[in-house]
Amino acid sequence: MMQDLINEKPYQKVLVTGAAGFIGSTLVDRLLAQGAEVVGIDNFDPYYSPEQKRTNLKDACQHPSFQLIEGDILDQALISSIFANHEFDVVVHLAAKAGVRPSIEDPAIYFQVNVEGTLNLLTQLRQTPQTRLVMASSSSVYGNNPNAPFAETDETSKPVSPYAASKKAGEVLAHSFFELYGIPMSLLRFFTVYGPRQRPEMAIAKFFHLIQKGQTVPMFGDGTTSRDYTFVEDIVDGIQLSMSRTEGFEIYNLGNSSPASLKHMIDAIGATVGCTPHIQELPEQPGDVTLTCADIRKAELNLGYRPTTSLDQGLSIYHRWLGSHAGGISCAENLS
């Protein structure tokens, strides 16, 4: 039987890797607003616009309790110096090479960043075993899991992309350091996160842009593949709950537990912006899975995690954010 809610442990000083990214910057803003001291590290990888990432941290960089370190988690000397100069209550490790399809083209860099970069952090944490680690993993580790919803105890040894394999390798590596050195850690398997600040190549961001401009939306497959779309603020809730309730070694699913098909998601974006999507059906892409669906009962019981944002609500919030931050185009403007 699962344990009840884990006792809360306070934190004041936090290291966030990947601090300028979509999820990282959202977490940083939340932590600063709540009075925490935050050190963030980011290498501003040009996988997508570094300027977008700098904009993500615009407010944080004006805050007296935030320090930004521009650097790479692959830089062992830098990581060592950060830990030598700071004593952290929690490390939130979000830095990673993301994206299934690019990982097929260049798997080596995915393993270098997602595994070797993680090793650099773990090597420092072994010297400060009181520091808790909260580390981002991915629902992709489940591969084409036939069991829905996906439980943390399900098979994860059959990934279908190098990205998924690199995230699973990171989990296994982290577990070995827990066994050897007792570092308390929570590994969080995120399920298709979306919302303000998301990467521009992510499906929801890309489809908003195309639909509002009246351009053709590429739909890989027949539209029946489904994802457990999870709003970024719900994910940050789960991260924070993990930060204050990490003990031992645990893996948690953080999702919405309410998957939607690709076709439904495209139609929902069309309804949100008031435009009819023009869809082009294309062959399925290698590395894609047919379904993701999170069993979140463990996170509910142990952490108190309860996502509250439906897909329609999240798309509406994202649409409003686009209008105020990205100069969104309306359908009426497109048709005039």
Active-site hit among 11, 163, 194, 318:
163
Give the Cα separation of 304 and 302 in Å (integer). Answer: 6
Identity (one letter) of the amino acid at 66?
F
Inter-residue contact 218 to 334 (CB < 8 Å):
no
Give the Cα separation of 333 and 336 in Å (integer). Answer: 5
Which tokens go with 39? 């050190």
Name the 3-class secondary structure at 99: coil
Give the Cα separation of 190 and 236 in Å (integer). Answer: 10
Range 28-31, long-range pairs (CB < 8 A, 24+ positions)? 28/57, 28/60, 28/66, 29/59, 29/60, 30/236, 30/240, 31/240
Inter-residue contact 161 to 38 (CB < 8 Å):
no
Half-sphere exposure of 68 (CA within 13 A, CB side): 22
Catalytic, 163? Answer yes
Q: Could you list the active site residues?
A: 163
